[in-house]
Amino acid sequence: MKNLVIVESPAKAKTIEKYLGGDFTVLSSVGHIRNIIKKAKDNIPPIDTKNGFKTTYEIDSEKRKIISGLKKAVATADTVWLATDEDREGEAIAWHLAEVLKLDLKTTKRIVFHEITKNAIEEAIKHPRTIDMDLVQAQQARQILDRLVGFELSPVVWRKVPGGKSAGRVQSPAVRLLVEREREIEAFNGSFSFKVVAEFTYNGEIIKAELPNRFDTEAEAQTFLESLINSTFVVSDVTTSPATRNPAAPFTTSTLQQDANSRLGFSARATMSSAQKLYQEGKITYMRTDSVNLSGQAIAMATDYIKGAFGEQYSQVRKFKTKSANAQEAHEAIRPTDMSRERGSSNEYDQKLYDLIRRRTLASQMAPAKLEKTVITIEIKNQNRSAHNNIYFEAKGEVILFDGFLKVYGGSKKDAEILPSVTVNDILALKSAGAKQIFARPPSRYSEGSLVKKLEELGIGRPSTYATIINTVQVRGYAEKGENEGASRDIITLNLSSDLVKRKVIQEKTGSDRGKLVPTPAGEVVSDFLSNHFEQIVDYGFTAKVETSFDKIATGALARNTMLDSFYIPFHKLIENSGGIDRSTVTKAREIGIDPVSGKPILARFGRFGPMLQLGSGDDKEDKLQFAPMPAGCKIETVTLDQALHAFRLPRTVGQTPDGAIIKANIGRFGPYIQIDKLFVSIKPFDPHTITLDEALELYNSKLKAEIEKNIADFGDGIKILKGRFGPYITDGSKNVKIPKGTEPTSITHDQAKQMVASAPAGKKRAITTRSRKTVKKTKTVKVKRKKA
């Protein structure tokens, strides 16, 4: 073949192949092909910190077949073009491909493009370059540093922190942000005031107004409302002022994740997954960027569309300047490749994101919205005027004179108040007035979007890492998405009607954390541990400085190993000295009180799986300890004796199944459940203290039905055919063998099943959770060490 183009994505390969002629063959590496080895080889560590951080890589096992195919293609190609993504990760993949395929770094053609369009691909072919080793070294520095921190710090966390899973260079500051915000909320001292609103009428039209002042007490609010009886309300001032509202810049990775989260409810990870598909299909430009720049061609395309669709008065060319000092202006903001294309995907999820990107881009090149803001000041005149000196009502309204960019993006969720025409000295009639108790709000918990914004403000992470950071802190169990709808709170309202002030208490929800990122108890403990013993790992300024160092390496302004030494040498000393950290001081138990039945103390403490309750001190070896999970919504610092005693009433016998098996209700690591013999059934959202026998039996029968449907065949000797998440498979309890497509599971005989299991390579038992996988690995390591000893 004449030309071989290698990209990292099959979808990207398919799109590019449409634009290149028959002289080009496009193949994919399907992402990264090599990773740092996991264990030392020939007594050389994966990263040799004493020898210039020399790193040993290995080809991923699932990529060997792909590499074999690429090698054959390279052998027959006259010219090889490496067309991986334009960022540091893409440059590193190109370097790994060159190394594995034995391509000459000095002559192998490297092409990059911001969008997958015919014009962009043809221009890239005309202007090839070689692999940029500065970009490669910047990626290597990040990968090496993250690996060293993870592999050296995580074991310390496992040993010293109960329930600790891992620690990462960038995830740890993110967890610290969540923990600090949670403590701000806990320390918040709530206060309240009374807000007064009123409705007036003038020539049959309603004017809604508000008192700028607020009252500290109910009595003050009551007195004020009573003073309005027999008062006269006069317009004392009417001011109108012009205003303009300008559009925001086109999307960067960060702002896309923020807006997709707030407007569409997308997580950072889901946003990037959709954006990647749109990019690979040639619908948008590259989705990992910190630039707000638009090319001249893109601006011209947007201008033509806006003038044609809305009229010339809606067009205004803008060139935005990226604030970040490290942004590359040669890169572009995220935009559609064709501004006139309204549909970017047949997938509803991806289309929503495409529409958001398109509207934001068009809006950035549109005229500002022109508004007129009006404020009506309403004076209160009565016999006790002196009692309310300088107190007046204000009515505010807004009229959009010209919608400008609001035609496509950024319109408010509700229409602004439009006020009737009034003049000074006009008399208004009071229709109603009321005061409502308003509570001060604590700081809001971070959503995924607001956390991305904060990380960007602090200089932590880069466009390619935000989604990974947020996903990692949740996967590790250090944060979770809140599901609490909040608690009801009494609110006092006072309403003036028919010259009488009536008091009423209503209820409103407060404290909802639904969809917000909430640190788990494990996240709080690990964050405190790192802050006390490895401060630089969670220090915001230090983490941002490391990111800046990566940027300098990418431009050739800083040597990779110089930067790695400056971080690793002091960090490794902390690791070496960590043996002296006393595990018992990391989390302390709190005695809640004495159990009135047994006379034993009840302690709240942190265990392997989080906060828990313990009955008995453990001082007496003969004393059998009892444990109970921490009640929902309680913490070690706040749980009361009554709540603890209630928790120790579990497990509770609910009743029996029709065949006489005992049904017990309890709370475990994964929430409330019932147990019948060896079968465990989740009972969320039921409470194990109150679940009835009928409710338990209904859940039990549903579970039995699911188990029966899961078992396709049971041959009686441990070999079964089961229905799994990814299709039917055969198992003997230790090895799982996927049944090939097209094979009917029910047609497989016992002998065939045994043969398929026997011929499959030996493997571990399925790990149910991320933690259990780590536990298996850790246990293996310990066994090997004992043999050597």
- The CA distance from 5 to 109, in Å, is 10
Asked if 175 and 446 touch (Cβ cutoff 8 Å), the reply is no
First and final CA of the chain: distance in angstroms? 57
Residues sharing a CB contact under 8 Å with residue 17, sequence separation 6 or more, in sequence order: 24, 26
Q: What 8-state DSSP symbol labels residue 579?
A: G
Could you give the CA distance from residue 28 to residue 9 in angstroms, rounded to a whole number?
5
Residue 202: C-alpha distances to residues 207, 239, 419, 423, 542 (Å) = 8, 18, 10, 11, 62
The secondary structure of 22-91 as a DSSP string is TTEEEEE--S--EEE-SS-BTTB-SEETTTTTEE-EEE-GGGHHHHHHHHHHHHH-SEEEE---SSHHHH
CB atoms within 10 A of CB 735: 19
Report whether 402 contacts 369 (CB < 8 A). Answer: yes
CA–CA dist 180, 551 (Å, integer): 28
Report which residue type is found at 480.
Answer: E
What tokens appear for 323 in the block? Answer: 């604030």
Cα(140)–Cα(133) distance, rounded to whole angstroms?
A: 10
For residue 625, what is the DSSP state? Answer: P
Look up residue 606 and give its amino acid. Answer: F
The strands making up 3-7's β-sheet, listed across from edge to edge, are: 24-28, 3-7, 79-82, 109-110
Bridge-based pairing state of the strands 679-682 and 711-714: unpaired
Beta bridge mates, 310: none
Q: How does strand 479-481 pair with strand 652-656?
A: unpaired
SS3 336: strand
How far is Cα 209 from Cα 64, in angstroms, rounded to an integer? 71
Report the run of H or E that residue 727 belongs to, with start and end. Answer: strand 727-731
Does the bond joining 651 to the residue before it have cis omega, within 30 degrees of 0?
A: yes
Beta carbons of 436 and 214 less than 8 angstroms apart: no
Cα distances (angstroms) measured from residue 73 to each of 1, 14, 23, 101: 8, 17, 14, 10
One DSSP character per residue, 500-546 reads: EEEEEEEEEEE---BTSEEE-HHHHHHHHHHHHH-HHHH-HHHHHHH
Beta pairing partners, 737 = 730
**Which residue bears the tokens 């800083």?**
558
Whole-angstrom Cα distance, residue 326 to residue 528? Answer: 32
Distance CA 382, CA 351 (A): 60
Comparing C-alpha atoms, which of 727, 729, 745 is closest to residue 737? 729
CB 627 within 8 A of CB 615: yes
For the chain, give the longest Cα–Cα distance: 102
Q: Would you call 286 a catalytic residue per the annotation?
A: yes
Rg (C-alpha) for the chain, rounded Å, is: 33
Contact 82, 98 (CB under 8 A): yes
Q: Tell how far CA 464 is from the center of its chain.
A: 14
The single residue of 19, 57, 279, 286 carrying the catalytic annotation is 286
Q: Write the DSSP assignment of 406-437 as a string of letters.
A: GGTS---SSPPPPPPP--TT-EEEEEEEEEEE
Going by C-beta distance under 8 Å and a sequence separation of 6 or more, which residues neighbour residue 120?
113, 114
Active-site annotation, residues:
286
